[in-house]
Amino acid sequence: MKLLVEEGNSCIDSPIDALTLAKTHALRWLAQIVCQIIRTARWENEFQCEGVGNLAEFSAVVEELETMYLVGNGRLSSKPLDGSTPVGLQASNVVRFAKKLDALLHLIEATTEILGATLDANREESSYKPVAQGPGKYTIH
C-alpha cells in the first residue's frame, strides 16, 4: 500500500511527506489514503478483486488484517477464556483470508503500476489529472 500511496501522493489534497510514509505501520491510515487516491482517479468501479467488490470491502479486509496482526502478536486481548485459538486465527479462516489477501495484493500492485503510468503520461502532457482506464483490465476475479 505504501507504494500505491507514494505513486498517487500528488493526486490527493494533502500529500503525505515521504518520511511519515516511510515510517508508518498504520494499515488503516494507509487504506484511507488509498481510498482517497482511488476516488480521485475515479476508479471505484475498477478497484475490485476476489473478495473485495468496493472500497468499503477493501477497508474491511485491511481492518481484518490489522486485527489478525494484533491478535497474533498478543497486542489485543481477544483470546478466548478457554485458551482456544481465536476464530480469526483458526486454520480454515486463515486460509480463506490468505486467498482474499493474495488477490488484493495483486490488485494493489496492478493499480500502482497503472497509476504510475497514467501520471507519467499526464506529466508529459502537462496535465496532472489522473484520468485513465483504471486498473480494471487487471481486476482479479
Q: Give the separation between CA 63 and CA 65, rounded to whole angstroms.
A: 5
> Is residue 58 scored above 70 in pLDDT?
yes
Domain of residue 104: give its range: 2-138
Predicted confidence (pLDDT) per residue in 64-104, tens digit: 888 776 554 555 455 556 666 665 666 777 788 888 899 99
Strand partners, 49: 52, 140
> Does the model's pTM come out above 0.75?
no
Number of domains making up the chain: 1
Read off the pLDDT band of 125 (50, 70, 90): confident
